[in-house]
Amino acid sequence: MDWRRGKSILIISFLILNILLAGRLYFIPEIEMYLSLAGRPSLEAVFYALQTHGIATDREWPRSATRMPFTQVSLRRLAAGEIMTLRQRMLGDQTVPQTEQVVPTDDKPLSFTAGQRDLVVTARGHVSFHNRAVLPSPGGVSAEEAMRIAGTFFKTELGNPGDFVFDSVTALDNASYRVEYVQTFRGHRVFPGYIIIIVQGQEVAAMWMSRLNVAFEAGGAKVVLPAAEAVLSLLNHRLNARVEGQMEIVDIEFGYHSPIYDAADPSWRGVPVWRIRTKDGVFFINAHSGVLES
């Protein structure tokens, strides 16, 4: 056989081989899912089960990719320059540093004071701000007003971080509001990353921020449950525990979840979850396995 003919045969062989490999890697899992070869119940059955227990199914169900990988999550230590910028924005030029070091250490956070305002930065990347001059005002503000005030603080004092999005506003007991932002990564929420702003009267009384480093794990993407199945899983947990009352869903969001560890490892795994907010609390359902994350 001459080499030219041999090359042609090899090209065709490798082409077929690569088609098979690519199909196995990228297409067959989706085909399996859509043809229910993985054995999961169809959404019609899921909806029926939810409706039987009084859960409305005519809402807009959020969607996610059919397969999602784990993430690797790590603490994000703030550099000296970032700390200086935060200090400048939040406390201004009259700041008095309370500690001598330039960056926080594990046993000694960095703290600054300007009048009644304090800023503390820890080595684990947690930032907290307090304005002790802010007092509750009798009339209070509305939720929309609180969001506007928090939004202004978010833009001016925090520099409008592009990787955080508005998440929720909650009324607190003393005529104040907690406005929460959650970190995002490639369009997905990363729930352990947060900015929480307490609005009291017309001002920001306190702020806490935790921003994480996030990266997708290479490979290992697994099939993700649809949102309706996650809700069904939560419902099953409630029925098992005989929790009384109907489950009322406030919202459902897809994202990544992980505890914050005091880790020696440089990073650890975050899992894809469906965060389900109900009137009884917030629950995270593992989007790969359907278990309630505890």
Partner 1 sequence: MWEKLKSLTLLGLILTSFYLTGELWLVHYSPPTPGQQQGEYREPHPLEIMMPTAIKIHFATESRAYSPGETGFNETWDFLRSMISGGHMVSVRSITERDWLRAYALGSIELKLAGPVQMRMWLEALSVQPSGLSTDHRMDRVMTSIHSNHVYFWDTERGVFIAWENAARQDQPSRVRDLTSQHLLAASTNWPGQEVRPLAPNLRAQAAAWVYVPADPGLWPQLLARHERGQNNHLIAGFFPDWSLVRRVVQRDGRVAFTDGQRHAYLHPDGAVRYVATSWFHPLHDINARASLILASALSFVARHGGWPAEVRMNYMGVEQPPGGLAQINFSFVPYTSFTLEGRSQFVPIVAREKQVSLTANERHVSDYERLVYLPIDVGASPTRIITPEAAVRVVERNLLPGILITDIYIGFYQRPIDAAAEFLFPVWVVKQGRQMFLVNAYTGEIVSR
d(CA 25, CA 35): 17
Cα separation values, 187 from 162, 165, 182, 269, Å:
11, 10, 11, 18
The reply to whether 92 sits near partner 1 by the rule CB under 8 A is no
Among positions 222, 249, 253, 277, the unique one binding partner 1 when judged by CB under 8 A: 222
DSSP string, 54-111: T----S------SEE--EEEEE-PPPHHHHHHHHHHHH-S--EESSS-SS-BTTB-EE
Torsion angle, CA of 262/268/125/89, rounded to 10 degrees? -160
Among positions 271, 274, 275, 276, the unique one binding partner 1 when judged by CB under 8 A: 271
d(CA 268, CA 262): 11
Quick check: 87 and 279 in contact, CB under 8 A? Answer: no
Residue found by looking up tokens 């930032």 in the block: 127
The reply to whether 265 sits near partner 1 by the rule CB under 8 A is yes
The reply to whether 294 sits near partner 1 by the rule CB under 8 A is yes
The reply to whether 5 sits near partner 1 by the rule CB under 8 A is no
Q: Which of 237, 190, 240 is nearest to 76 (CA)?
A: 190
H or E element at residue 169: strand 164-171
User: Judged by CB, which is closer to partner 1: 101, or 289?
Assistant: 289
Q: How far is the CB of 73 from partner 1 (least distance, A)?
A: 10
The reply to whether 282 sits near partner 1 by the rule CB under 8 A is no
The reply to whether 293 sits near partner 1 by the rule CB under 8 A is yes
The reply to whether 163 sits near partner 1 by the rule CB under 8 A is no
Among positions 17, 28, 65, 102, the unique one binding partner 1 when judged by CB under 8 A: 17
The reply to whether 77 sits near partner 1 by the rule CB under 8 A is no
What tokens does 213 get?
């480093």
Total of chain residues touching partner 1, rule CB under 8 A? 40
User: Judged by CB, which is closer to partner 1: 93, or 244?
Assistant: 244
| x-marked contacts with partner 1 along 56-75 as a string, rule CB under 8 A | --------------x-----
* Contacts with partner 1, residue ranges (CB under 8 A): 4, 7-8, 10-11, 14-15, 17-18, 21-22, 24-25, 70, 218-220, 222, 237-238, 240-243, 258, 261-265, 268-269, 271, 286, 288-289, 291-294
